[in-house]
Amino acid sequence: MPNRGNNKMQTLKVMVLAVTAGLIGGLLADRLSLDRPVLASESDKVITAQTFKLVDGKGSTRASISMSAGGQPALELFDTTQRVRVLFDMSAKGDPQLFLMDEDGTIRTEMGLGLESKGRPFLNLRDQDGNVFWSVVAKPRRSG
């Protein structure tokens, strides 16, 4: 015949151990450096990083703000399959440029200042092979 007193004592020990482990785990989890999102409080004025990523509900990156290999800032927007579809960055000289890509990653539209036009605004439309089929560049101002 089972001893009810021993079963109750054993159940109590297991419960105390489980609660204690939960409390200790909760306290330690807050102090461990895990790869998790950083939340800014209202008192924070500046958040500094080399890359910021915006993720959707599934954890997939949908946008990224980072520094390019050339040391210029860049903003990338990704589609649902993780392909870059929009890139806004700056040339090595600091001229802004915008690239729109199709689902294959081919640049289909590009516009900016200075990339091909020596500081003048330009717009290029490209076919699916990346060849320019239409282009416009602002004319230089005449001094007079």
CA-CA distance, 105 to 115, in Å (whole number)? 20
Task: Kindly report the pTM of this predicted structure.
Answer: 0.65
3-state secondary structure of 89: strand
- Work out the pLDDT band at 128, boundaries 50, 70, 90: very high
Query: CA quadruple 14, 15, 16, 19: dihedral positive or negative?
Result: positive
Rounded CA-CA distance 30/39 in Å is 13
CA dist 79 and 63 (Å) reads 9
**pLDDT tens-digit map of 20-29:** 666 666 666 6
Q: Which residue has the higher pLDDT, 8 or 111?
A: 111
Q: Are strands 51-55 and 132-137 parallel, antiparallel or unpaired?
A: unpaired
**Per-residue pLDDT tens over the stretch 68-125:** 888 899 999 999 999 999 999 988 888 899 999 999 999 999 999 875 557 788 999 9
